[in-house]
């Protein structure tokens, strides 16, 4: 019986030794295959490989054998290998050479603290946020949703509108996305002010009504006054300039001339209906000059957007001097249907828009 047991144990030992020898022989053969491939490609391009925990330089032509053997390779030469390995961290992208040791993702959101080829740069590495959800359609650096990377863009289709933009006065847009339109800009065309609506802003403060005080601009009344004649037919008003050029220009037709025209009309012809109609709103209201009246027409769309309609013919305070049958019987008016400026008999009944400075 003892002889049988000893014989069986001997067989087991021999079998075990034989198996270990086969495994060891396979490893040696694999190593030999790698060495033989390296030797056969000797002199070619060298590539760094992590082989059994050691970094070695091998011929590029032998890479397939090394990869099949389980070695990690470094194709881009940045010191990081393409699969999990004991020599380095795994390379994010083995086609791009980059020192991954410089990367930090402190908040663990998959975005790194510096510019890198593997992710967008993390705008705030203390806050975990998926930056891939962000859209900046207009390319102005501000994103379409609330995020830790920028203030929210209120109009991601317009690169000129964003939280970093400067508010542009008078364009009726919230340029800087603060929820306000034309803030801190002062009065604008179309603003309701001083009992009227703003029709003109002077380029610089100037005295527009002759009272010695610098003004900002002009407002017109919020509604038409009834149709009346200009008055003073066939009468030369010596204190009122005669404007014969077409379109009217020069003294008596310019911005700032309306108040002096109105005062002169009422000085020379105290019952002039159009001038009296404008002055009926108050001593600081007057019949506009031809160019002041045209400012209302030029801004008609803005003014009407506020709910006021300007659809009639209107007298100006600018007088003309015709000859023949109509001598001293003409003044300038403007049609707001088409914007045309006309010479009209002072005896015609036309609407009035009163104006004052502010």
Together in a domain, 166 and 313: no
Q: At which of 38, 53, 74 does a domain end?
A: 74
Whether residue 129 lies inside any domain: the answer is no
Range of 14's domain? 2-74
Supply the pLDDT for residue 112.
83
Together in a domain, 166 and 69: no
Together in a domain, 158 and 214: no
Q: Are 192 and 168 in contact (CB under 8 A)?
A: no
Whether residue 246 lies inside any domain: the answer is yes
Together in a domain, 217 and 179: no
3-state helix/strand/coil string of the chain: CHHHHHHHHHHHHHHHHHHHHHHHHHHHHHHHHHHHHHHHCCCCCEEEEEECCEEEEEEHHHHHHHHHCCCEEECCCCCCECCCCCCCCECCCCCCCCCHHHCCCCCCCCCECCCCCCCCECCCCCCCCCHHHCCCCCCCCCECCCCCCCCECCCCCCCCCCCCCCCCCCCCCCCCCCCCCCCCCCCCCCCEECCEEEEEEEEEEECCCCCCCCEEEEEECCCCEEEECCCCCCCCCCCCCECCCCCCCCCCCCCCCHHHHHHHHHHHCCCCHHHHHHHCCCCCCECCCHHHHHHHHHCHHHHHHCCCCCCCEEEEEEECCECHHHECCEEEEEECCCCCEEEEECCCCEEECCEEEC
Together in a domain, 341 and 243: yes
Whether residue 320 lies inside any domain: the answer is yes
Supply the pLDDT for residue 82.
84
Together in a domain, 212 and 347: yes
Whether residue 332 lies inside any domain: the answer is yes
Q: At which of 125, 150, 184 does a domain end?
A: 184
Whether residue 127 lies inside any domain: the answer is no
Together in a domain, 313 and 353: yes
Q: What is the pLDDT of residues 152-165, one digit of tens each?
A: 999 999 999 999 99
Together in a domain, 247 and 323: yes
Exposed, middle or buried: residue 337 (CB in 10 Å: 0-12, 13-18, 19+)? exposed
- Nearest CA to 47 out of 86, 83, 74, 85 is that of 74
Whether residue 86 lies inside any domain: the answer is no
Together in a domain, 47 and 174: no
How is residue 4 written in tokens? 């049988």
Together in a domain, 148 and 57: no
Q: At which of 122, 149, 184 does a domain end?
A: 184
Q: Which residues of the chain have pLDDT under 70?
A: 1-44, 323-325
User: Between vectors from CA 20 to CA 16 and to CA 21, what angle results, nearest 5°?
Assistant: 115
Supply the pLDDT for residue 32.
53
Supply the pLDDT for residue 26.
46
Supply the pLDDT for residue 159.
94
Together in a domain, 241 and 353: yes
Question: If you search the block for the tokens 């009272």, which residue do you land on?
Answer: 211
11: left (phi over 0), alpha (psi -120 to 50) or beta: alpha
Whether residue 11 lies inside any domain: the answer is yes
Structural domains counted in the chain:
3
In angstroms, what CA-CA distances link 232 with 250, 275, 328, 346, 352? Answer: 22, 11, 9, 7, 16
Q: Are 189 and 181 in contact (CB under 8 A)?
A: no
Together in a domain, 227 and 333: yes
Rounded CA-CA distance 219/198 in Å is 4
Rounded CA-CA distance 52/73 in Å is 12
Q: Are 350 and 314 in contact (CB under 8 A)?
A: yes
Whether residue 146 lies inside any domain: the answer is yes
């Amino acid at each position: 019986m003892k002889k049988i047991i000893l014989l069986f144990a001997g067989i087991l030992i021999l079998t075990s030794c034989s198996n270990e020898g086969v495994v060891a022989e396979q490893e040696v053969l694999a190593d030999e295959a790698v060495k033989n491939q390296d030797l056969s490609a000797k002199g070619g391009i060298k590539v760094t490989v992590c082989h059994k925990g050691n970094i070695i330089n091998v011929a590029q032509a032998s890479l397939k054998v090394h990869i099949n053997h389980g070695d990690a390779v470094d194709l881009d030469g940045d010191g990081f290998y393409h699969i999990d390995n004991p020599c380095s961290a795994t390379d994010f992208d083995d086609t791009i050479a980059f020192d991954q040791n410089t990367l930090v993702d402190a908040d663990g959101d998959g975005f790194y603290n510096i510019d890198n080829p593997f992710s967008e740069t993390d705008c705030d590495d203390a806050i975990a946020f998926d930056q891939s959800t962000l859209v900046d359609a207009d390319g102005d650096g501000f994103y379409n949703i609330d995020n830790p990377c920028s203030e929210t863009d209120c109009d991601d289709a317009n690169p000129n509108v964003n939280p970093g933009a400067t508010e542009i006065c008078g364009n009726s847009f919230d340029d800087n996305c603060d929820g306000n339109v034309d803030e801190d800009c002062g009065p604008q065309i179309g603003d309701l002010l001083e009992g009227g609506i703003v029709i003109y802003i002077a380029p610089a403060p100037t005295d527009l009504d002759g009272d010695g005080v610098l003004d900002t601009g002009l407002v017109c009344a919020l509604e038409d006054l009834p149709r009346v004649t200009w008055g003073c037919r066939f009468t030369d008003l010596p204190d009122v300039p005669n404007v014969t050029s077409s379109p009217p220009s020069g003294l008596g037709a310019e911005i700032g001339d309306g108040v002096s025209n109105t005062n002169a009309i009422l000085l020379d012809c105290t019952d002039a209906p159009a001038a009296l109609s404008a002055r009926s709103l108050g001593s600081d209201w007057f019949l506009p000059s031809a160019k002041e009246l045209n400012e209302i027409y030029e801004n008609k769309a803005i003014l009407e957007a506020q709910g006021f309609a300007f659809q009639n013919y209107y007298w100006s305070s600018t007088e003309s001097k015709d000859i023949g049958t109509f001598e001293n019987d003409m003044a300038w008016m403007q049609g707001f249907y088409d914007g045309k400026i006309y010479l009209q008999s002072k005896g015609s009944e036309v609407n009035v828009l009163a104006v004052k400075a502010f």
